Amino acid sequence: PPALRCIKKVVLMLAIQKAFLSGIKKPFTEVIKANIGDAHAMGQRPITFLRQVVALCTYPNLLDSPSFPEDAKKRARRILQGCGGNSLGAYSASQGINCIREDVASYIERRDGGVPADPDNIYLTTGASDGIATILKILVSGGGKSRTGVMIPIPQYPLYSAAISELGAIQVNYYLDEENCWSLDVNELRRSLNEAKAYCHPKVLCIINPGNPTGQVQNRKCIEDVIHFAWEEKLFLLADEVYQDNVYSEGCQFHSFKKILYEMGPEYYNNVELASFHSTSKGYMGECGYRGGYMEVINLHPEMKGQLVKLLSVRICSPVSGQAAMDIVVNPPIPGEESYSQFIKEKESVLNNLAKKAKLTEDMFNKVPGVHCNPLQGAMYAFPRIFIPAKAIEEAKAHKMAPDMLYCMKLLEETGICVVPGSGFGQREGSYHFRMTILPPIEKLKILLEKMKDFHIKFLEKYA
């Protein structure tokens, strides 16, 4: 079935890694998993305040302990009051705990300079993926005779292609412009849409901003163009904004689709259907294991909303400890509170480090012959283009393998560095890439980048 073929891509790299590790000779001392955005696994420390609150909720006896700060206790009490029987062990409503949805709405209002947000439009999810998959299910299930088309960027995070394929919808590709820092051009959206209309009914437009795997941060003009396009073409907008806190480049700034939509006036704000997604897994907290997330959905048709609630109720509720973690992401310590200075120190330390590593990675890759790397404006990945010599392409073909897969396998075999081939994300025919996280600690990252440079030069020589 197509779903499984598609999912295959996602896990191929891990399979390789496992197969390889079961082998014997290893010309390196450790495998570095730069293939997945898993901050804590790479040594990033949790945000103390977040963990204090979740621990207090887990074991409320600690509410009497003098070693926990008052602001953490206050938040824990508020969360527990929202739980059945004051316990993280009770099911929550399918949409999520009420007071946490209120906190999410307040966060969005603050983030968007006062644009109103309604807790009733907020749904707490099991990571962002749960929300994305569920919304797609609703939108596709409503399709008529011709199959539903879902527009996604290429390159894209393969969750999208997998979900689209599993739902029996049609994947409609639009290409990001690598020559212009992976920017999104509305003319390319129009080309893609017009071609797709011949064979499906395009209903959804997915945007990933900041980009995964491409790391670009969209400017206000670009977002306005996209919204106007979606309005004109009556497309449902899916804004994957899980990297909203991960913006590094000078002059770049995160703009939420919701805010820009509002500022474009009521004709847009009252009509364009928009779902935007956030998560505990990325940003400065990197709490992937909690599977926490939310989505805000506006202008959804009431009937669709009913279907959404029903679908969400099948999984009863998202993990309640993940909901608690999400609450702290949207309701962190504020100036004047006891934990504020430590929180800000920890948060800024993570983000400043990521910014340094983003610059370092771009600079190092661009010094390697046959490698081109766009600025890592945001998110936590590099997606450099690599030149692969004709001889290597032939060898890959002989093994029925994508050329960049061959490249990544050789890299893993020779250096222990695990990255994901660009073919897993999609790329223009004849171009080759890989995705690498910038999460390893900076000293380790430097060594890793040096090793990759040496590998690449040897690779070019070998297949010259």
- Quote the CA–CA distance of 187 and 317 in Å, as a whole number: 41
Quote the least distance from Cβ 13 to a copy of itself, whole Å: 11
How far from the centroid of its chain's Cα atoms is residue 461's Cα? 36
β-pairing, 434-437 with 274-279?
Answer: unpaired
* Contacting residues for 413 by C-beta, under 8 A, at least 6 apart: 20, 27
Quote the least distance from Cβ 101 to a copy of itself, whole Å: 15
Report the candidate in 76, 43, 69 with the shortest Cα–Cα distance to residue 325: 76
* 315 interacts with a copy of itself by CB under 8 A: yes
- Residue 287 has what DSSP assignment? -
Binding mask 67-86 for a copy of itself (x = CB under 8 A): x---------------xxx-
* 302 interacts with a copy of itself by CB under 8 A: no
Q: Which helix (H) or strand (E) holds 293?
A: strand 292-298
What is the token pair recorded at 346?
A: 């920890």
What is the token pair recorded at 59?
A: 């074991």
* 427 interacts with a copy of itself by CB under 8 A: no
Determine which residue in the list 129, 256, 339, 437 makes contact with a copy of itself, applying CB under 8 A.
Answer: 129
Quote the least distance from Cβ 426 to a copy of itself, whole Å: 17
What is the token pair recorded at 404?
A: 């960049």
* 224 interacts with a copy of itself by CB under 8 A: no
- Quote the CA–CA distance of 203 and 148 in Å, as a whole number: 6
- In the bound state with a copy of itself, the residue whose beta carbon lies nearer, of 99 and 186, is 99
- Quote the CA–CA distance of 416 and 29 in Å, as a whole number: 8
- In the bound state with a copy of itself, the residue whose beta carbon lies nearer, of 49 and 459, is 49
Determine which residue in the list 205, 285, 379, 402 makes contact with a copy of itself, applying CB under 8 A.
Answer: 285
- In the bound state with a copy of itself, the residue whose beta carbon lies nearer, of 57 and 393, is 57
* 11 interacts with a copy of itself by CB under 8 A: yes
Restricting to residues 86-105, name those near a copy of itself by CB under 8 A: 87-92, 94
* 7 interacts with a copy of itself by CB under 8 A: yes
* 310 interacts with a copy of itself by CB under 8 A: yes
Determine which residue in the list 311, 351, 401, 457 makes contact with a copy of itself, applying CB under 8 A.
Answer: 311
What is the token pair recorded at 439?
A: 């999460």
**Crossing angle of the two packed helices 48-58 and 320-330, in degrees rounded to 10:** 140
Q: Which helix (H) or strand (E) holds 299?
A: none
Determine which residue in the list 35, 121, 125, 126 makes contact with a copy of itself, applying CB under 8 A.
Answer: 126
Determine which residue in the list 122, 139, 164, 320 makes contact with a copy of itself, applying CB under 8 A.
Answer: 320
Q: Cα-flanking dihedrals φ and ψ of residue 156, to 5°?
A: -140, 165
Binding mask 13-52 for a copy of itself (x = CB under 8 A): -x---------------------x-xxxxxxx-x----xx
* 457 interacts with a copy of itself by CB under 8 A: no
- In the bound state with a copy of itself, the residue whose beta carbon lies nearer, of 55 and 186, is 55
Please tell me whether residue 159 adopts helix, strand or coil conformation. helix
Quote the least distance from Cβ 2 to a copy of itself, whole Å: 10
What is the token pair recorded at 72?
A: 């953490």
Q: What is the DSSP secondary-structure string of 10-49?
A: HHHHHHHHHHHHTSS--SSS--EETTS--TGGGTPPPPHH
Q: Which helix (H) or strand (E) holds 171?
A: strand 170-175
Which residues on adjacent β-strands are paired with residue 174? Answer: 153
- In the bound state with a copy of itself, the residue whose beta carbon lies nearer, of 209 and 321, is 321
- In the bound state with a copy of itself, the residue whose beta carbon lies nearer, of 149 and 322, is 322
- Cis status, amide bond into 153, omega within 30 of 0: no
- In the bound state with a copy of itself, the residue whose beta carbon lies nearer, of 392 and 405, is 405
Per the CB < 8 A criterion, the answer to whether 142 and 311 are in contact is no
* Stretch of 116-124, 182-190, 317-325, 362-370 lying at the interface with a copy of itself (CB under 8 A): 317-325
Quote the least distance from Cβ 314 to a copy of itself, whole Å: 6
Quote the least distance from Cβ 316 to a copy of itself, whole Å: 7
Please tell me whether residue 190 adopts helix, strand or coil conformation. helix
- Quote the CA–CA distance of 453 and 204 in Å, as a whole number: 40
* 159 interacts with a copy of itself by CB under 8 A: yes
Determine which residue in the list 314, 336, 369, 443 makes contact with a copy of itself, applying CB under 8 A.
Answer: 314
* 318 interacts with a copy of itself by CB under 8 A: yes
- Quote the CA–CA distance of 149 and 310 in Å, as a whole number: 23
- Quote the CA–CA distance of 19 and 2 in Å, as a whole number: 24
Quote the least distance from Cβ 212 to a copy of itself, whole Å: 14
Using CB under 8 A as the binding criterion, the count of chain residues that bind a copy of itself stands at: 64
- Residues near a copy of itself, by CB under 8 A: 1, 3-4, 7-8, 10-11, 14, 36, 38-44, 46, 51-52, 54-55, 58-59, 62, 65, 67, 83-85, 87-92, 94, 126-127, 129-130, 141, 159, 162, 285-291, 307, 309-311, 313-322
